[in-house]
Each structure stands twice: as C-alpha cells, then as structure tokens.
Structure 1
Amino acid sequence: MALLGLSAACAGTPGPDEGAPGRSPAPVRAERRAYDGAPPVIPHLDFGSACTECHGERGVEVAGVGFSPPSPHEATQGLSALSRCRQCHVEKQTDSTFQGNSFAGLRQDLRRGRRLYDQAPPVMPHPVFMRENCAACHSGPAAREEIRTPHP
C-alpha cells in the first residue's frame, strides 16, 4: 500500500538521469558525492515516506524514476530501518544560496583494482564499514556494469 502512495507521489518527478530511468553512469554518480568515498546526495525530491520503503534489502523499481539501489547498510551494526539516513545523505541543493568557487575535488578513481597475483580477485578499493552488503552495489538492476560481479 505504501508503494502505491509512493508511485503516485513519484509521478512527474525527475529521476537520477532525467528522461532515462535506470542506472546512472559512473561520472553522474561521482557528481553526487562531495569527494570520492563520500555518501551520495539524495538525487530526487522527498517522496514523503521512509527511505527504506525503496532502499531496503533488494531495492525497488519506481515508475518514471528508475531502480532504487538497495541499502548497503543492511548488515551495519547499529543501523536499522529506524536510522536517520539524512545524517549522512542530504538532498542536492541547486538554488542560488551558494556562491560559485574554484574548488575542484579529487576525481573518482575508476581504475581496475590491484590483485595479489594474476588469478586473485581485485583488492577492495574501499573500506567495508557501512558497506557490508556488497550485493547492494555489485549485483542487481542498480549495479553499474563496471563493478557488477558474476558471483553471489
């Protein structure tokens, strides 16, 4: 029932990639972060429901918006559906409140990961804390092709 209300709330709402619901390319995702490794901003309007309604264990397809990625924090000790997502994730502001400046953050490192030896899996390029649910980013409909894994 909550998803029905959410679908109605989503009507006409611009998605992560205006006009192209689905996965966003790596450069678009990188723009949603203050720096490489920072939590992404919320790329959509407030739907008036809990974040976990869409960003739960598996994610969900939202008509006209795209596929909401699952939460990578499902197994993070101390976090739950009652956590305050907006302590780290904020809505993207594009109004004229802020003045332009010359700050240029570090570019996202999209190189292939190093390996201990030729047949070894790549070394993880990020910490595991708060990213315990590897499948949230590396499998399923919301996963980028560059980081999708063939194993469960």
Structure 2
Amino acid sequence: MREHDAAVTTLLDAATSDGVLALHHQRLPGRRAAVAHLAITASGIFVIDARHLQSRCAASQEVGDPTDLPYPADLRVGEAITRVRSQVAALRSALSAIELADVQVEGLVCTGSTRRLDSLRQDDEASGVRVVSLDGLNELLAVQGPLEGPDRATLHEFLTAQMSPAA
C-alpha cells in the first residue's frame, strides 16, 4: 500500500469513533476496478481515490536528468476523477436498485499535498468530483447530515455484502 493511500486508510479508520464507517479496496458488483476507499458518514457516502502528487526530481538520481520534471499531475488526477465519477455512478445505481437513491454519494480525489491544489480544485469542480487534501477530507467527514448511526450501519452491511475485496 502506498504511503498516501495508507494515510487515507488511517484517517478513515480513526474517524470510526466519530461514526464514520469505512471500506477499503473493494470491488463494486460487475466492476473490475477497485474502489480505493468508501466512507459512510452522516452526510452520505464518499467514494475516495488517493493520489500523491510529487515531482520526479525527488526520485531522480542525476542532476539535469530529463526525468527531473514534474509528473503530469493533471493527467493522473484527471484519470482518478474519471474513475471516481464512474464508481459514483455505479454506487448510485446500486443504491437506487434498493430504493436508496436519496442517499448522497460524492466522489473525492484526496491528494497528498496542498501544492497546486487550488488550481486542481477549480479545474475539476465541474466534473462532480472534488479534489481535496487530507485536511479537507477530515473536514468533510465531520459534516453533519441526515444519516443516523443505524442508517450508516445498514449501508455498511449492504455494501459489505455487495462488494468483494480487491486482490
């Protein structure tokens, strides 16, 4: 598990004491790609992908190496947004099938740093998937909403039964 993915897992698992229920690395029925993280909160369900944005220069051994350029972060985040948007649609469909279409489902791409985060937020706001930092994710987990503890537990049980662990 990558460091940033582990940080999101740790954050979500620690939020259990605040009533957040999480699932990690699960597959939705009929889907090959795994959902990195699901957080069931008072305000709804978050489908979360973790991305660490860093430059290649940290990994580059030689000064002046042509790989000493930033990773195409916009492309990586863009791919994550597309994947999360698809996963949100699949989850909404599964919830609609059991007459729970009113449960809020939102997609998030959680980045490992705040570097360039403002421009990524603006660029991807229209996509329906928010780009947030770890601190931003933590704030979203605390937002109050209509889902009481028993409702969240029922959703967690349903999703656990419907999803399978990613290999």
Q: 1 or 2, which has the higher helix percentage?
A: 2
Q: TM exceeds 0.5?
A: no
Q: TM-score, normalised by structure 1?
A: 0.29
Q: TM-score, normalised by structure 2?
A: 0.28
